Amino acid sequence: MNDRERLLAILEGQPPDRIPWIPRLLLWYNARVRTGTLPARWQGKSLREVERDLGVGTPARDGKVFDLSLDGVEVASWREGWREFTEWRTPLGALQRVTLQSAELERDGLPARIVEYPLKREADYAVWEWIVERLRWTPTPQAYAAYDAEIGADGLPMVAAGDVPLHDWLENLAGYEHGFYHLADWPDAVDHLLGLMQEVQRERLWPLLADCPARLLLHGVHLSTQFTPPRFFRRYVLPCYRELMPLLHARGLRVAMHADNDTSTILGLIEEAGWDMVECFVTAPMAPLTLAQARATWGQRVIIWGGLPSVLLSPHVPEGDFREAVRGILRDVAPGEAFILGVADNVMPDAVIERVAWVTELVEKQGWLPLPA
């Protein structure tokens, strides 16, 4: 089987011939290219060529099934030094976001961080609601088909399809630091905005997703013990997915959640919400959670993609400890169904790339199903 066939089998609840090994090399590759430290054998090679040479599948995360636009909203952007400003101008007022880049982040190809969020005052919520009402999603089936053909046998596109309104608001609009204060001070304004965001997506985005040509969607990002603990999860996350998941599942779609954080207290809720997969799933020592604990909660009902914490690829981790940890992963997921081996979240710029090659050799020798218990 090739990696596409393995992924399709897993999505259908069938065992592949062996464990797929599909890590995210993008950050490592971009940093090495930008700093001129890409190994000589890969000079001038594309990321896909490096992936093939290392014997890994491609995560295929660049496909799209829609374009998002704002109808009648003036958006201005400009840069001053390391700061980039974005301003949304509406009849109700203007909102501004500021991101801060640095020489180090730019060198490694990493994104800037938001230092000023659009929502700062209670009055800002009405302005952003005006913007939300003008969101438009346009299907792009031809773009998806072209990308799917480009990926071919090396993987299966996992298409970013949106986020639950609560997390979109926390990450992009109010900020983690201030959002919970907003919720305490202006609960009606926050709840009204979140409700409107879901209503607009229900009417305009969800039907498009249900009819899209993709097989695997990524919806839901960074839900965690810290920021969406069980109480918040039940109130703000479950209602969204109780509506969305049946719609998508009825069309044969599978849905993944980006889980590169501490999900230790919400494992049961992730399954209850209906996710078919957690991808970039991170475990100890980067989160207080083990693969064995996740398997004990989910069995094979939730597909795990990840399991190899990125820190283990760091030169600070002794080689012997790294190898034993990887062997332990294979033991923990035995007999190996509903599992895709990947790095959570990315192979980082300082990673020892030879360790990725060693995992390839191990999987090719010992990754055949069923894995021994």
Q: Residues 328-344: what's their mean pLDDT?
A: 97
Predicted pLDDT at 271:
98
Q: Are residues 206 and 60 located together in one domain of the fold?
A: yes
Contact residues for 66 (Cβ-Cβ < 8 A; gap 6+): 137, 138, 139, 140, 205, 208, 212
Domain containing 276 equals 3-70+135-366
- Asked, for residue 372, whether it belongs to a domain, the answer is no
Q: Are residues 32 and 165 located together in one domain of the fold?
A: yes
Q: Are residues 339 and 278 located together in one domain of the fold?
A: yes
Predicted pLDDT at 111:
85
Q: pLDDT of 91-114, one tens digit each?
A: 999 999 999 999 888 887 788 999
Q: What angle do CA 262, 188, 70 make, to 5 degrees?
A: 75
- Asked, for residue 149, whether it belongs to a domain, the answer is yes
pTM: 0.96
Q: pLDDT of 16-38, one tens digit each?
A: 999 999 999 999 999 999 999 99
Predicted pLDDT at 94:
97
Q: Are residues 157 and 45 located together in one domain of the fold?
A: yes
Out of 95, 113, 133, pick the residue that ends a domain.
133
Q: Are residues 276 and 289 located together in one domain of the fold?
A: yes
Predicted pLDDT at 371:
97
Pair of tokens at residue 181: 């204060």
Mean of the per-residue pLDDT values of the chain: 97
Q: Are residues 105 and 220 located together in one domain of the fold?
A: no
Q: Are residues 321 and 232 located together in one domain of the fold?
A: yes
Q: Are residues 17 and 122 located together in one domain of the fold?
A: no
Taking the C-alpha atoms of residue 305 and residue 23, their distance in angstroms, rounded to an integer, is 9
Position 79 pLDDT exceeds 90: yes
Taking the C-alpha atoms of residue 111 and residue 104, their distance in angstroms, rounded to an integer, is 10
Position 373 pLDDT exceeds 90: no
Q: How many domains does the chain have?
A: 2
- Asked, for residue 373, whether it belongs to a domain, the answer is no
Out of 99, 117, 133, pick the residue that ends a domain.
133
Q: Are residues 18 and 106 located together in one domain of the fold?
A: no
Q: Are residues 122 and 257 located together in one domain of the fold?
A: no
Q: pLDDT of 267-295, one tens digit each?
A: 999 999 999 999 999 999 999 999 999 99
What is the DSSP annotation of 319-336? Answer: HHHHHHHHHHHHHHTTT-
CATH number of the domain where residue 225 is located? 3.20.20.210
